[in-house]
Chain A
Amino acid sequence: MSDLFAYTLRLGDDALISAQRTGEWIAAAPQLEEDVALGNIALDQLGQARSLLQYAGSLDGRTEDELAYFRDEREFLNVQLCELPNGDFGFAMARLLYFATYQHLLYDELRSCADETLAGVAGKAVKEVAYHVDHATQWVLRLGDGTEESHRRMQAGLDTLWPYTAELFESDALVQRLEVAVDPATLHDSWSDRVLAVIDESTCERPSSSYQHSGGRSGRHTEHMGYLLAELQHVARSHPGATW
């Protein structure tokens, strides 16, 4: 597995698994406007996943669908944050705030990298995730500073997901070796500044947790990942070789 392939796969899997979870909200959102908004966000995430998996596949002789539908759990390189099952809407907005803020910083750097394809994908995606960050921010503020119940739920979402955020910024030999890669560790301080500013303004408490989960980047996932893939992959795997 080449470094560029593995790196692209990491980004692509983050986007794909996020799209799968965000897509579950369509037809289940708190109001119709939100079905539309979350549909938009899921589509953006899926679009990014497709561009990245197509590129990864081109380096490896596979199609986007072979990568999405015919890899097993241990071969997926997304962070665990993306795969956790959907909770309530506060959980969804906490996840989107954490993840989209990270993606925004990442794509913003990546668009000036020397790899033309990655730079191109990032240049398009950075505009999309700017909207995701804005959407999540608006909701974290509304929920945090809305009613007692919404404050409690927003705080719970922020707290529950906080231990899954350090994984976004893990550095390893691969990102240090691969010249076009953005070392995610370099994004952490800006991420922290932005996310904490939103949390402060929302009147929620800053989450604190000493334990941080890890493992997604090397294919060690939560128990939930297998079920997510079972749903994602089962039709395609039931008809190997078929076109759709």
Chain B
Amino acid sequence: MDFQATIDADGRIEPRDAMPDGYRKTLIRQIAQHAHSEIIGMQPEGNWIGRAPSLRRKAILMAKVQDEAGHGLYLYAAAETLGVDRADLLDLLHSGKQKYSSIFNYPTLTWADIGAIGWLVDGAAIVNQVPLCRCSYGPYARAMVRVCKEESFHQRQGFEILHTLSQGTEAQKAMAQDALNRWWWPSLMMFGPPDAASTHSEQSMAWGIKRHSNDELRQRFVDMTVPQADVLGLRVPDDGLVYEDGHYRFTEPDYTELYDVVKGNGPCNQQRLSHRVKAHEDGAWVREAAAAYAAKKEARAA
């Protein structure tokens, strides 16, 4: 079956199948950026591993950040099935030529931010990613099945952190509300620009890479999240929020902020990238040593 027929029949494209160049390039870009987001996303949460306020929370957080490294690994592996190399993709990240999700350019300022990231950021990621489990490219779709399972676990843990805080002392409640206030708008921006301004969407929909529009997914996220905020006893910081015809009508975020952060002008863009580049450069001698050792061993065995 040829490419278009497979897409039309809602089948899966596999690595050895013929595919248009544009499809391949779009997927490489999307999967790489997704992988980059996983590994950059380790930083804002890793920021709290040392300070987690109980040993149980510390263990959960460590496991979570480790899961993200794992997600990065299998997403890079999925990208490699398209004929690129992880090392080259990392170079593109480090040189700023490929992006990662802008949400990770916001700082984690209190322990409650770890709850908010789990609940809102992972919640938004799940809404974005569940449809990707049906993406037309097989290796990406299969990687997403595994990622989504773990993300939903993370989302529940984030909710649970905030739930504990919202049942706690006045200071803990205030911490939880403050985190929601800061993370709400950036979370809405995770779905990308409004449909009218979205540049890649139409072609990706035709290729079965994308299944729903940005605005549809944003609405789905708001509808899912607002009732959860009620359970937490926290106030979504949107005066325009009303329930109407089965949906919550909400105020659109200020997308100029999204464009600014994408361009590099967010609170942590420079910090995140330079931390990543430093870890990579600091580790260069280790990777070189591993390669040299493997070559020596091979030579000795020959």
| Interfacial residues, chain A to chain B (CB-CB below 8 A) | 16, 19-20, 23-24, 26-36, 39-40, 42-43, 46-47, 49-50, 53, 64-65, 68-69, 88-89, 141-143, 145-147, 149-150, 153, 231-232, 234-236, 239, 241-244
Q: Are B66 and A43 in contact, CB atoms less than 8 angstroms apart?
A: yes
Option from A29, A49, A143, A146 in Cβ contact (under 8 Å) with B55: A49
| Interface contact A88-B282, CB-CB below 8 Å | yes
A-contacting residues, B258-302, CB 8 Å = 275, 279, 282-290, 292-294, 296
* Of B149-157, B167-175, B179-187, the one touching chain A: B167-175
Q: Which of A43, A145, A150, A241 contacts B285 (CB 8 A)?
A: A150
| CB-CB nearest in chain A for B297 | A145
A-B contact count (CB 8 A): 146
B57 CB contacts on chain A under 8 angstroms: 244
In the bound complex, CA of A157 to CA of B14 (Å): 46
Majority DSSP secondary structure for residues of B touching A? helix
Main secondary structure of the interface of A (DSSP, over half): helix
The answer to whether B59 touches A147, judged by C-beta atoms less than 8 angstroms apart, is no
Q: Give complex CA distance A95, B291 in Å.
A: 23
Tell me whether B50 and A231 are in contact (CB under 8 A).
yes
Q: Which residue of B lies closest to A154 (CB)?
A: B289
- A146→B56 CA distance, assembly (Å): 39
- Least Cβ–Cβ distance between B140 and chain A, in angstroms: 18
How far is it, in angstroms, between the C-alpha of A23 and the C-alpha of B69 when the chains are bound?
A: 13
- Closest chain-A Cβ to B162's Cβ sits at a distance in Å of 11
Q: Is B76 among interface residues, defined by CB-CB distance under 8 A?
A: yes
Task: Report the 7 A-B pairs with minimum CB-CB distance, sorted nearest first.
Answer: A30-B283, A146-B289, A39-B66, A150-B289, A30-B286, A27-B46, A27-B42
Q: Are A231 and B72 in contact (CB under 8 A)?
A: no
Residues of A within 8 A of B46 (CB): 26-28
Q: Which residues of B contact A19 (CB under 8 A)?
A: 58
Q: List 6 A-B contacts (CB under 8 A).
A: A24-B49, A27-B275, A27-B279, A32-B72, A43-B63, A244-B54
| Cβ-closest chain B residue relative to A24 | B50
Distance from B208 Cβ to chain A, minimum over Cβ atoms (Å): 29
Q: Are B59 and A28 touching (Cβ within 8 A)? A: no
Is A142 in contact with B289, judged by CB distance below 8 angstroms?
A: yes
Residues in B whose Cβ lies below 8 Å from that of A244: 53-54, 56-57, 111, 161, 164-165, 168
Contact A29 B283, beta carbon cutoff 8 Å: yes
Interchain nearest-CB distance for A215 vs B (Å): 24
List residues 68-98 of chain B with CB under 8 A from any CB of chain A: 69-70, 72-73, 76
| Complex-state Cα separation, A241 to B171, whole angstroms | 12
- Which B residues are in CB contact (< 8 Å) with A30? 279, 282-284, 286-287
